[in-house]
Amino acid sequence: MKLCVPIPCFFNTLPFETAVEKTAALGFEYVEIYDWRQLDFAAAKDALARTGVTLLSMCTTEFRLTDPAFRQSWLDGLRESCAAAGALGVKKLITQVGPDTGAPRAAQRRSIIDGLRAGAELLALTGVTVMIEPLNVRVDHPGYYLTASAEAFEIVRAVGSPYVKVVFDIYHQQISEGNILPNITENLDCIAHLHAAGHPGRHELQFGENDYRNIFSAVDRAGYTGACGLEYSPLLDPEESLAAAKQLFGARG
């Protein structure tokens, strides 16, 4: 497993290129962003090439998969995002599934599956993986549809494409359901990326109730070879915070 730095969490006021340089100077090799439309592609590619840093993931531009009326908008956004990913060498896109519309949950779930299936051919052609994300509704995302990791895994398996996976956010799932280690280690076939933050507060890993050294160690032993994005709001100076995260990661068993 490797650590990944979400640029907006730590260096949101800096140009992407400067943030990449700072990340590289701290010894990190992987970053992620959210809105790719804010990038100067030529400058971004140059910074990544100069530093050897890899941009692992970005977000799609549209998120409403729960409502069939928005499917074409989601597919159009997916097409644009896949093109941007190809230009930047990115292999993963995060998409949320949208709000609970109030329709029967079975109908909303069917809409999500159908939308992802409709995008699967494009994903296969481009080699880009799209990752759906369960979120918590208790603290951060009231009204969101997908909260349970089990349902996310079921959706991925129903779609049946190697290019449709889950980003498992440990912070969100600690709030929503707990049972973190079994939920991750027993479903690695569905997980393409991890996010981590301390709960409560969504701050540094060492300030929360989870023992991340144990989590990282167990996930390593289970055979996970992907990345974990440090998706939190730092209380410490950003560079100090990232150094502490790197030290914690290195101390895993």
Please give the CATH number for the structural domain made up of 2-250.
3.20.20.150
Please provide the DSSP assignment of 8-31 as one string: HHH-TTS-HHHHHHHHHHTT--EE
Question: What are the structure tokens assigned to 50, written together?
Answer: 């100069």
Q: Are 119 and 75 in contact (CB under 8 A)?
A: yes
Q: How many residues does the chain have?
A: 253
Question: Active site includes 32?
Answer: no
Catalytic residue from among 32, 62, 204, 231: 231
pTM, full prediction: 0.97
| C-beta of residue 170 within 8 angstroms of C-beta of residue 195 | yes
Please give the chain's pLDDT, 253 residues, in tens. 999 999 999 999 999 999 999 999 999 999 999 999 999 999 999 999 999 999 999 999 999 999 999 999 999 999 999 999 999 999 999 999 999 999 999 999 999 999 999 999 999 999 999 999 999 999 999 999 999 999 999 999 999 999 999 999 999 999 999 999 999 999 999 999 999 999 999 999 999 999 999 999 999 999 999 999 999 999 999 999 999 999 999 999 7
Helix or strand run (H / E) with residue 214: helix 212-222
Which of 62, 133, 204, 239 does the annotation list as catalytic?
A: 133
| CA 80, chain centre distance (Å) | 18
d(CA 122, CA 113): 15
Distance CA 95, CA 168 (A): 12
Query: Letter for the amino acid at 23?
Result: T
- Residue 151 is among the residues annotated as catalytic for this protein: no
> Which residues lie below 8 Å from residue 72, measured CB to CB, with a gap of 6+?
none
